[in-house]
Structure 1
């Protein structure tokens, strides 16, 4: 027998438990590997705090997830997302959020990356204004990755973090001047199967938030000064009711810590199609704790397909053609800027995913020129800052914002974008234009399989074809293949007149697997999990019903429950 947790995740039944190795409060069970270092993070009081959060909010969370499922059912039956008439008074009201805290008023360039030790040091030293340490799309959520990430962040907040790269015989330490630290926990939908609370898998984001906040709020505020923080990024929300839960979590944490209401601040990623119609409402629910919204554009494209999975007339063109010049994407960005500045908070731009091309100066300069144009578009539209995936992009991004913003920390007061007040639901839902090609199908397949193979072996942020891929871009690959297969999309270009069928997809998979083997080498291909990833990717792309998230299915493959005593052998 297996027990179903909060999200329908099938937790394997174990006859042996390892909770005795950790000093756990009543009702809490830990099934991850024991480590003395992890035990400092997973102490009894910290686990009690996480358990209290889980118990107080789990029923509200279950209701929010049921609302998601009900909305999906409506969209699959032909309905379209839209502005909620019941909350029109919020959208038309003249309220504002709390003032932006001085320590994070200037966020013109932010770098993102997983909570790996060397990455944290390099990102904090990168020259960016903010580093977003990621427990979500850039991290494979294995037990060791998650708990090591908590250890690493605790050391970073304390200023004691270092890393000895033995291969290079180099020690990495923090500079005197570092970026401000934000943390992104996992989304509401993801479980943490290694920690059970009252017999159910814990909510992943409450584990990430709870452990980080409990161990770091005092040192963080002391180091950052001015009585604000910690700071967070909140992913994958679809409705303001989910933001309201986060607001209540923040209030409970502040009360527990004895710090002022509004000390915790968060930026919400608008990365689902339903959420673009809820931006005012999301800010309203978090108004004492908000510091803005962010254009999570890769996940937004993924969400467009997922939301319209039942609509055969909304097939996306090749993913490389779905950029910010598409009408529905430009309107999304413009409306986000107007909404944020009207409410007095930051409107953050999207990711520059390019990585330096060291062996080809011409190609590298062409890639940097694409970044330069994208960042000029963002700053001139009114964004207050942007994201970069690699330290090598920071000077290019910084130059674009410095040249257009000058000494002002942001554009909240100067770029109101009243013209964006005319954006309608039809604008936000306009069908994307472009062609569908055989090469697009091939690229989706190559990227999806290689990303999954890396994710299954512990890497959630993967350089592929001169771009930094994470779960969001892998999701686009998966859902686009699924959509084209389900509706037998007709290909343009070299594939003119050919429809995407299972037979064609099978041939593409075989050919792309052979290409991957050539590119990575036979030895790495043999030792990697490419065949397992391929099977998983095929299953996801050909499923009769689209799975909500690739990582939910893949998560079962990285859960490792340790029997009692194994960690001390």
Structure 2
């Protein structure tokens, strides 16, 4: 049952628009919304200042400036200091599984055998109002032990013994939540996700020595990390929790952030647990940061792997930085999913997972990510064999000290017709599914989230705007080819039963507009949000 209203004023100065289900009454309580509003009133001004700073920095990059280590924070990098002790629940993170905050997914992930489940309100969730608020209810039920799910076929799902530790990823600072305003201002998605979760669950998690724990996405600077420190400290005070109760892991998934890893750890030193190699978004950030630099184009997506020099330097510097400060260095995502009906193809895919996880554990990472429960035992076997202790904080990696130029060196390679076509197809299919409310989409035996679509559309924009770019067979890449490929894949998607097939034309129109635009947009999800159901 739902109560349709144009605007519902649930407490003074706070308005929730759209359809409000009566099932959400225990999530959107006046007290919870008042807490969220307090976060907005105290911190939204600073958030907007920091987002404006991103625009200024990007303009400098567009004018030819290159990202670099900061001169004004050299003392932080040079001084000897460490982060606060890591809680027992997070000292062994050898395998973490990620996924959206959908009810069945939460149960399966908690039962997967992974050490940690990163419940995601961000890149693997399409932020419909229903998805976000249902997600809050689902997580609350998981924490109090009441969560269950019955499939349409009658199969029942419940949490078993020894579930994974729960870590929550709120949306990034840049994403709005249009369904809630405070004093007439649009609420930040991050503050809604964090605020509702903390208000309803922090006391229970603290009592069980299970947090609350958070993954913080898309940060570009120590100042953005410091804002999270202030938000969490304020929340702890308001919720009568000891200072430092809330713990954070930061995804290093933007190019500017790799030059401020020490500074980010320092800003959050009372509560940070580690940094994570968010490699897909990191590749996207490289493309976006250098959108105006024709000399820094990357080859097709499949050739930009973690062994290319700038990515290898990034991951090894992350390990060195974290372990020097007593924090964990988490590895990246394995997006493969089982290939049914083709044993040879499935084994080849799983061998790629093993090789990737072996690279990570032997480099010194303390854990890794997978996107599917079937990958948990594969990744765990590799880490168990090479990391018998809970972590590898003793692996200091003093042998690596990459320079600025090594961290931004473009990868060499080619663009094939197949690679170009794949970018068009994946970007279209993901965007259409996202507009239909799905943020985690299986495409060609990979579990894709927003980062893959962002890489694909950023590469298409650069190849088309920094011409003449040629395929490996020397044929030119041009807009006529792009328009034809987009129209072809839109027709195929429209005639298929793939997720989002009924949003194919809307997705194609959006991708066409963004690709033809004179400037590369910062995020696909911002203009797409205006069209989200």
Provide TM-score, normalisation by structure 2.
Answer: 0.97
**In structure 2, which of residues 397, 403, 419 is the aligned counterpart of residue 417 of structure 1?**
397
1:501 equivalent to 2:478? Answer yes
Gap change, CA 1:100 and 1:526, over 3 Å in 2: closer
Q: Secondary structure at the residue paired with 1:49?
A: helix
Gap change, CA 1:469 and 1:527, over 3 Å in 2: closer
**In structure 2, which of residues 189, 214, 217 is the aligned counterpart of residue 235 of structure 1?**
217
- Residue 172 of structure 2 contacts residue 216 of structure 2 at CA under 8 Å; is this kept in 1? yes
Alignment of 1:213-228 (within 5 A): 213-222=198-207, 224-225=208-209
1:45 equivalent to 2:31? Answer yes
Q: Secondary structure at the residue paired with 1:33?
A: strand
- Residue 433 of structure 2 contacts residue 500 of structure 2 at CA under 8 Å; is this kept in 1? no
Which residue matches 2:118? 132
Shift of 1:525: 8.6
Which residue matches 1:60? 46
1:457 equivalent to 2:431? Answer no
Which residue matches 1:19? 8
2: CA distance, partners of 1:289 / 1:419? 28
Shift of 1:373: 0.3
Shift of 1:431: 1.1
1:108 equivalent to 2:94? Answer yes
Question: Residues 303-351 of structure 1: CA distance to partner in whole angstroms, max 9, x if unpaired?
Answer: 0010001111111100000000100000000000000000101100000
Shift of 1:540: 1.2
**In structure 1, which of residues 484, 509, 513 is the aligned counterpart of residue 463 of structure 2?**
484
1: CA distance, partners of 2:490 / 2:431? 13
Q: Secondary structure at the residue paired with 1:18?
A: strand
Aligned residues: 529
- Residue 493 of structure 2 contacts residue 501 of structure 2 at CA under 8 Å; is this kept in 1? no
1: CA distance, partners of 2:430 / 2:500? 16
**In structure 2, which of residues 123, 128, 132 is the aligned counterpart of residue 142 of structure 1?**
128
Unaligned runs of 5+ residues in structure 1 are 1-15, 560-569
Which residue matches 2:338? 356
Which residue matches 2:411? 432
Shift of 1:284: 0.3
- Residue 229 of structure 1 contacts residue 264 of structure 1 at CA under 8 Å; is this kept in 2? yes
Gap change, CA 1:140 and 1:308, over 3 Å in 2: same
Alignment of 1:98-497 (within 5 A): 98-167=84-153, 169-222=154-207, 224-225=208-209, 229-406=211-388, 408-412=389-393, 414-420=394-400, 422-493=401-472, 496-497=473-474
Q: Secondary structure at the residue paired with 1:396?
A: helix
Q: Secondary structure at the residue paired with 1:30?
A: strand
Unaligned runs of 5+ residues in structure 2 are none
Shift of 1:258: 1.2
1: CA distance, partners of 2:117 / 2:180? 28
2: CA distance, partners of 1:273 / 1:527? 34
**In structure 2, which of residues 16, 23, 44 is the aligned counterpart of residue 30 of structure 1?**
16
**Bigger Cα displacement from structure 2, 253-262 vs 139-148:** 253-262
Q: Secondary structure at the residue paired with 1:324?
A: coil
